[in-house]
């Protein structure tokens, strides 16, 4: 009886392997399975101002209002992709957008970048040592967080923020968090 169906064995083996590949190869390796920072209050940080400016960025800025925190750099190509949308948001949405600039080779680079493309940020802090980006579990740029009134991360968005992801996820969440 079992020998009659033995010819099906390679097909069965193939199917099993195909299922593993289908799951494994469609996973985005840059996305981490466990989002350990969501719903965690963030620790203290104080970042230095962009060269030529005086405003620093600290954890206290994030408290009291639902806000967005965007990790970017003038070296980051994908950041330019979301940049025009952030410029639009500055006009249309009443949400503070804090920028954390990191990994600049030259501190003047970000000054030039902001001059050239515009500055959509409410405030910008520069992370020179990398301590803050590691504390926020950053793996690249851009990454954008929705932070609630207590300074707790509620959502992490990896990659450029698109109008679609804004409409479907980020904005509804902000509206929700404002009610808390």
Partner 1 sequence: MKHFIFTLIALVMLSVSVGAVEPDEILKDAALEARARIISKDVRCVVCQNQSIDDSDSGIARKMRILVRDRITKGDTNQQVLDYLVSRYGDFVLLKPPVKAKTAALWFGPAIMLLLGLVGIIFYYRRRAKETAETTGAAPLSADEKSRLDALMKEEGSET
Binding site for partner 1 (CB under 8 A): 29-30, 32-37, 103, 129-131, 133-140
Two tokens at 117?
């493309």
Q: Checking phi first, is residue 34 left (phi over 0); if not, alpha (psi -120 to 50) or beta? A: beta
Q: Which is nearer to partner 1, 35 or 44 (CB)?
A: 35
Q: Are 121 and 70 in contact (CB under 8 A)?
A: yes
Q: Are 144 and 66 in contact (CB under 8 A)?
A: no
CA-wise closest residue to 123 among 46, 44, 40? 46
DSSP string, 122-159: SEEEEESSSHHHHHTT--SS-EEEEE-TTSBEEEEEES
CB of 30 to partner 1, least distance (A): 8
CB of 92 to partner 1, least distance (A): 33
Q: Which is nearer to partner 1, 35 or 88 (CB)?
A: 35
| Radius of gyration of the CA atoms of the chain, in A | 21
CB of 36 to partner 1, least distance (A): 5
CB of 168 to partner 1, least distance (A): 25
Q: Which is nearer to partner 1, 120 or 160 (CB)?
A: 160
CB of 87 to partner 1, least distance (A): 27
Q: Which is nearer to partner 1, 59 or 87 (CB)?
A: 59
Q: Which is nearer to partner 1, 96 or 159 (CB)?
A: 159
């Amino acid at each position: 009886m079992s020998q009659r169906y033995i010819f099906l064995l390679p097909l069965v083996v193939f199917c099993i392997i195909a299922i593993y590949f289908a799951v494994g190869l469609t996973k985005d390796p840059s996305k981490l399975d466990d989002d350990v920072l969501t719903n965690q209050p963030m620790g203290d940080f104080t970042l230095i101002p962009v060269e030529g400016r005086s405003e620093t960025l600290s954890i206290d800025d994030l408290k009291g209002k639902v806000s967005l925190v965007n990790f970017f750099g003038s070296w980051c190509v994908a950041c330019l992709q979301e940049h025009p949308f952030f410029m639009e948001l500055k006009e249309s949405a009443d949400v503070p957008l804090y920028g954390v600039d990191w990994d600049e080779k030259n501190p003047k680079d970000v000054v030039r970048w902001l001059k050239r493309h515009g500055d959509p940020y409410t405030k910008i802090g520069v992370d020179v040592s990398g301590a803050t980006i590691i504390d926020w579990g950053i793996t690249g740029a851009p990454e954008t967080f929705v932070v609630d009134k207590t300074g707790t991360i509620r959502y992490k968005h990896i990659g450029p923020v698109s109008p679609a992801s804004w409409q479907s996820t980020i904005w509804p969440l902000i509206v929700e968090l404002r009610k808390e």
